[in-house]
Amino acid sequence: MIEEIVTTFDEQGNITGTASRDEVHRRGLWHETFHCWFVGRQQGELSIYLQLRSQQKRDYAGLLDITAAGHLMAHETVEDGVREVQEELGIPLAFAELKPLGIIPYQMDSAGFIDRERAHVFVYENRYGFSDFILQQEEVAGIVQARFADFRSFITGASRSLHVNGFRVTGSGEQVELDEQVDFSQLVPHERDYFVRVIEGIEAIYG
């Protein structure tokens, strides 16, 4: 397996060198990632999409997360990050179709895993149906959506659960419908401020 090398940064965003992906998480080094949030409109209402992480993932397996995201390698530009959408979701997007929400730095610390990211965050207004998604099953086990207003209430603490609907993929590759209430234990624990900035950025674009 080829070792993945990423650029490292200090807290002010200055480049400090390069390191392997494993090393940046072991030592808690700042590095760059690419995040793409899908939104859509159903009956005039805005919705937001979440991916269900595969049970094969080393970290946060089986939890709901950003629609598509990944590390930027040392040789890549931010524009190259759009490959994550194609790889994880099977959706062919051009970088020009994305709307930028800016760089959002944040960190998640757990035993043996310190994630300090400078996330380049984008939003895409989805025009594809669930049947169009072709998931990278070692990474993504399903896709769900929620009413954007409900997601906002969930993140800000106004509600304790979130209704999602969508699908998961079985071991044989079949799409099975998902329709359920989820709580915070089922969401990757990004900093609440990260989620709030994403929500406010989306609201600034879509009202």
Which range of residues forms the domain containing residue 96?
5-206
- Please, is 197 exposed, middle or buried when counting C-beta atoms within 10 Å of its C-beta (0-12, 13-18, 19+)? middle
- What is the distance between the alpha carbons of residues 59 and 72, in angstroms, rounded to a whole number? 18
- What is the distance between the alpha carbons of residues 195 and 81, in angstroms, rounded to a whole number? 20
Q: Among 158, 133, 132, 124, which residue's Cα sits nearest to residue 47? A: 124
**CATH number of the domain residue 87 falls in:** 3.90.79.10
Task: Provide the pLDDT for residue 111.
Answer: 67
Count structural domains, the chain. 1
Residue pLDDT, tens place only, 170-196: 888 889 999 999 999 999 999 999 999
Which residue in the block uniquely carries the two structure tokens 């990004």?
190
Instruction: For the chain, list residues with pLDDT below 70.
Output: 1-2, 111
